[in-house]
Structure 1
Amino acid sequence: MKNVALFGAGRIGRIHAANLAALSGVKLKTISDPMPGAARELAAALGAEVAPSIDAVFADTSIDAVVIASPTTTHSDLITRAAQARKHIFCEKPVDLSVARAQACAQAVAAAGVACMIGFQRRFDPSFNEAKTRLARGDIGTPEMLVITSRDPGAPPVDYIKQSGGIFRDMLIHDFDVFRWILDDDAVWLSATGACLTDPAIAEAGDIDSAAVTIRTRRGRLCQINTSRRAAYGYDQRFEVLGSKGLLACGNQRPTEVVQADAAGTRTDNPEHFFLQRYREAYRLEVTHFFEQLQSGGAFRTTVADGVAAQRLADAAAQSLATGQPVSLT
């Protein structure tokens, strides 16, 4: 039995908490959140305890692992402290908004010899993972181009945007990880552009809401990422890989797959509303994978090194947007 402490009782924390509580061989022991009411409510619902303090979590020798689902600004400190306390770590993306601090986290994890998995849940989406399996099997030959569409149905509150680190570090960090995972190649050149098209308050907060990124890899492969914080029809998450022998395409998930055709036309459901619905299964599978690998000693599908690598790409995109020039990553 693995005893687990959860940091964060907000939206994503509740998702992880429910999945942890349902896992065999795992006990969600304590929950910590700066909002005591949120922690008490979640703990009561799942039979856990409220941690008296962060220090108490790390001092509790019965806790084997921590799940970090707290705000981004707390991630690197909690990872470092967990590593020093010799507790295994599952942490939501990103590791940190600073590459230097993310690297320091990776060093702390390596020095402690503990596991650290970063929550890039898209690698666990069944459709995306099947595409990766077929690509690795050679079904479409050599991959040549990856096109990623990643659009939210609406922007988060401006107060969140102000402390998010910007669209590249907050939103596209997932797409940078998908790029690395699917093409299994290193970026050597990146160009990014963007605009604020949906809400002037986002521009006033110093961010953009629409972006286009082009990446060239060491092997000459190309990736294009287009993203927007407003898609009136739902949560739009797609990608396609063009290979020497064919194409792999992953479309959106819909609440139902019913197609209605009548005299007025042909209609289907819009995509799932948001990431909590779209990636519900992926969140469950990634936490399951974390504890299965802890038990077996197998390799983790995502590591702190993946977090650092995605952060480097996000920084390069931010630099390209600011300067209007492409960035060399060699």
Structure 2
Amino acid sequence: MIRFGILGCGRIGQVHARTLHRLRGARVAAVSDAMPLAAETLAEEVGAEVRASDAILSAGDIDAIAICTPTDTHADLIEAAAHAGKPVFCEKPIDLDIDRVKACLETVAATGTPLLVGFQRRFDPHFRALKDALTAGRIGRIEQIMITSRDPGPPPLDYIKRSGGQFRDMTIHDFDMARFLLDGPITRVLAVGGALVDPAIGSAGDTDTATVLMETTTGAQVVITNSRRATYGYDQRVEVLGSDGMLQVGNQPETALRTATSSGFEHPVLLDFFMVRYKDAYANEMRAFMDMVETGAPPPVSGQDGLEALRLADAADRSARSGAWVVL
């Protein structure tokens, strides 16, 4: 039985705790949160104890740690878990500052700590099938990748002000997806961004609408489009053009039913929340974490993956501000 400690009992901490609670061979032994009621409610649901974060990190009856706290706590908690000799899952990003991430990963390496970073889209069965098809050579050499990621609506302005910006908060998932699919490193980045959804987001120094163009060492091109407003639902699509064909993952509707009448074709509405769209991905992610702890297998998404995604986010931010290509 692997005993897990959950740090952070907000919505993503709840999702991970519930998944682990359902997995055979796993037990959520303890949870913590800055809000006592959140911790108590989740603890009762999954049969865990409520403890302070420090107590969970140092506890002898906790085998692994899942960090689901605010971003500015991630690096410190990863290092504390590493010094305590506990494998770690941490939601992205490790930190918003590249140098802080590097320092954290040095600690992880020095202690030999297994670290899985939470880019859940890699665990989505649809995107996984696309990756497997690329690996099998189904469409030959990759020439273009088009990634669309649009939220139904923007988050609260308070969140915007502390998120690190659209490229580090939202597009970072798409940067990781591009790296996941590509067969060569990215060499340069060009980005534009604007506040077309809400002028208040622009006044806060952020963007809500962005387009990114990237190029790899092989000459392959990647285009990412982001928006904080998609009135029709949560828009998540990927298309890959290769020398021998094309692969595509479309949006996931609420049901697969389509209706055709004399008036035309009707399609179900799209899923409208990331927690619903990526429900299977989050479950697969926790299974991978458990397998990593149990077997000692290398993390399927490493701390270095987290660092490289943040490096691309920083490059996109610099490009959007300067209007020029950023060479990596």
TM norm structure 1: 0.98
Identity of aligned residues (%): 48
Partner of 1:41: 41
Alpha-carbon shift at residue 155 of structure 1 (Å): 0.6
Structure 1 SS opposite 2:285: helix
Is the contact between residue 121 and residue 173 of structure 2 (CA under 8 Å) also seen in structure 1?
Answer: yes
Partner of 1:261: 260
How far apart are the structure 2 equivalents of 1:30 and 1:322? 44
User: Given the alignment of the two structures, is residue 307 of structure 1 paired with residue 315 of structure 2, yes or no?
Assistant: no
Alpha-carbon shift at residue 299 of structure 1 (Å): 2.5
CA shift digits 1:18-62 (9 cap, x unpaired):
1011111111011111000111011111111111x2221122122
Partner of 2:126: 127
How far apart are the structure 2 equivalents of 1:41 and 1:6? 13
Alpha-carbon shift at residue 200 of structure 1 (Å): 1.1
Alpha-carbon shift at residue 187 of structure 1 (Å): 1.0
The letter of the residue matching 2:157 is V
Is the contact between residue 149 and residue 225 of structure 2 (CA under 8 Å) also seen in structure 1?
Answer: yes
Partner of 2:325: 326
CA shift digits 1:257-289 (9 cap, x unpaired):
100112322111121111011000000001101
How far apart are the structure 2 equivalents of 1:103 and 1:22? 35
CA shift digits 1:221-242 (9 cap, x unpaired):
1100000000000000001000
CA shift digits 1:291-317 (9 cap, x unpaired):
112222223210111000100000001
How far apart are the structure 2 equivalents of 1:139 and 1:186? 21
Partner of 1:72: 71
Q: How big is the alpha-carbon RMSD for the aligned residues of Structure 1 and Structure 2?
A: 0.9
CA shift digits 1:82-107 (9 cap, x unpaired):
11111100001111101111111111
User: Given the alignment of the two structures, is residue 96 of structure 1 paired with residue 109 of structure 2, yes or no?
Assistant: no
Q: Which runs of 4+ in 1 moved over 4 A?
A: none
How far apart are the structure 1 equivalents of 2:142 and 2:177? 14
Partner of 1:30: 30
Partner of 1:144: 143
Count matched residues.
Answer: 328
TM norm structure 2: 0.98
How far apart are the structure 1 equivalents of 2:118 and 2:161? 22
The letter of the residue matching 2:37 is G
How far apart are the structure 2 equivalents of 1:106 and 1:199? 37
Alpha-carbon shift at residue 326 of structure 1 (Å): 1.0
User: Given the alignment of the two structures, is residue 184 of structure 1 paired with residue 183 of structure 2, yes or no?
Assistant: yes
Which consecutive residues of structure 2, in runs of 5 or more, have no partner in the other structure? none
CA shift digits 1:111-160 (9 cap, x unpaired):
11111000111001001000100110000011111000000001110000
The letter of the residue matching 1:245 is D
Partner of 2:243: 244
